[in-house]
Amino acid sequence: MTGPEFNALIGGVVCSGCRLAMCDCPRHPAEERATGKKMRVDVIANPEAFNEIADNLEVLARSQPMDKYALVVGLKELRGTVVAVTGDGANDAPALKKADVGFAMGLSGKEVAKQAADIVLLDDNFGSIVKAVKWGRNVYDNIRRFLQFQLTVNVVAVVTAFLTATIIRESPLTAVQMLWVNLIMDSFASLALATEPPTDELLNRKPHSRHDYLISKVKKSTQVKKERYLYCGQLHALVHRCFCSTREKGKKSKKTCGEATNQTETSRQGSPRHACTL
């Protein structure tokens, strides 16, 4: 499909307020405050036609800058996808500004395009975009792993310390042990999860939605399972410690009673007997 055919089918881009392609509605917040009118919001004139075309659209040939801008508006507003746009001319500035991520060419690009873009490709190489996508997804996954690990470990530690302090009036971990967990085990494990390098498999999956959470439902269920295992281990150690401390206290009490009995017998045997004379 060519750009003019695409623009004719969707009806182009119009203002959401007056439904006109060309209007005097303000396009910047400063103009909105000065004129008192509502700021212009661009929408697709025929959203039904755009949704039908977007499912099968792969290449938009001979497209003009306004065709590119209409495609970006439709994908963002109607489909809810994360859009990236490349451009090098001054006419590409609206599409670069509207997109979630705008890539401008550093060698052959105009200064207007560079100002409107988010990222400037210094080598004008499309492979750099692929590397940027791969590293971006890797950073996103590393943040997820880091948060999942930190929440699991810290929540279990806090809950266990609170329960043991409430039940047996004693913390299960000493100050040195807590320092070891936080400084040694926690730090190195977090660094390993946060600095994992990217792989080519990251490019084979679909991109994340703009409405995705850092900890999804699947991650939450996995985290809850891990917390259960850790809780069971902590409770087992707590019960074992209470049982051992009870046995030691019992042995000490028996030993104390035995020593007291022996001392009593010794005092009885060693005490002198006085004969009574009449």
The pLDDT tens digits for 98-118 are 888 899 998 888 899 899 999
| Low-confidence spans in the chain with pLDDT less than 70 | 172, 216-278
pLDDT at 242: 57
pLDDT at 229: 62
CA distances from 94 to 71, 102, 143 (A): 12, 10, 32
Strand, helix or coil at 60? coil
pLDDT at 271: 47
pLDDT at 193: 82
Residue boundaries of the structural domains of the chain: 1-27+38-81, 84-124, 129-250
Q: Is the pTM here over 0.85, yes or no?
A: no
Asked if 47 and 78 count as a contact pair (C-beta separation under 8 A), the reply is: yes
Closest to 178 in 3D by CA, of 170, 169, 186, 166: 186
